[in-house]
Amino acid sequence: MNAPLRSPVKFDIQALIKVIKQSESSDAFTPHLTPQQWDLLAGYLQPFALTQGQKLIEQGALDRTLYLVEAGTLSVHYEDDKGRVRLAMVEPGSAVGEGAFFSRLPRNATVQAATAAKIWCLTPIRFTELTNRQPAVALEVAMGLGSLVSRRLMNKPRRVAVT
């Protein structure tokens, strides 16, 4: 008998919206978007499934894609001269990649899936398109990310690699 095929991971933008709205974490991504604006933003996001251990972001890489976490846990590591330092665990309802997104510098840490995860990507090209076509939505995404950066900077144990 053939081995059963692994069922493809199903994605629904409503699950991401729900987890973001319900998150009470100080590390949550909290844009103030109406349901209609969420629908518009959804058209610019691309879903992606990560297997446990899979690398999402490599420290030093030149890329500015932003990732919103729907499910699973991501771990953030920073490699200094003396070795590897674990910075943070990032939970559903939060985001990663905002460092290079804003700074245009190389990625400041490595991010990988601590568990299987579901994420949504917003590439810089799609963000530029969103800015041109839906500026109010793009501004609110940027404000939500700015808020997240500020909160991460205030969190002293975590802030070592936040740009």
Ligand X SMILES: Nc1ncnc2c1ncn2[C@@H]1O[C@@H]2COP(=O)(O)O[C@H]2[C@H]1O
Site for ligand X, rule CB under 6 A? 57, 76, 87-88, 90, 96-100, 107-109, 111, 152, 158-159, 161-163
**Could you give phi then psi for residue 154, rounded to 5 degrees?**
-75, -20
d(CA 25, CA 136): 25
- HSE-CB at 155 with a 13 A cutoff on CA atoms is 15
Q: Which residue is nearest to ligand X (CB)?
A: 99
d(CA 33, CA 94): 15
Which residue number, 74 or 137, has a Cβ lying nearer to ligand X?
A: 74
DSSP assigned state of 63: -
Which residue number, 40 or 48, has a Cβ lying nearer to ligand X?
A: 48
Which residue number, 85 or 136, has a Cβ lying nearer to ligand X?
A: 85
Rounded least distance, CB 87 to ligand X, Å: 4
Rounded least distance, CB 31 to ligand X, Å: 16
Which residue number, 29 or 38, has a Cβ lying nearer to ligand X?
A: 29
Q: How many CB atoms lie within 10 A of CB 96?
A: 23
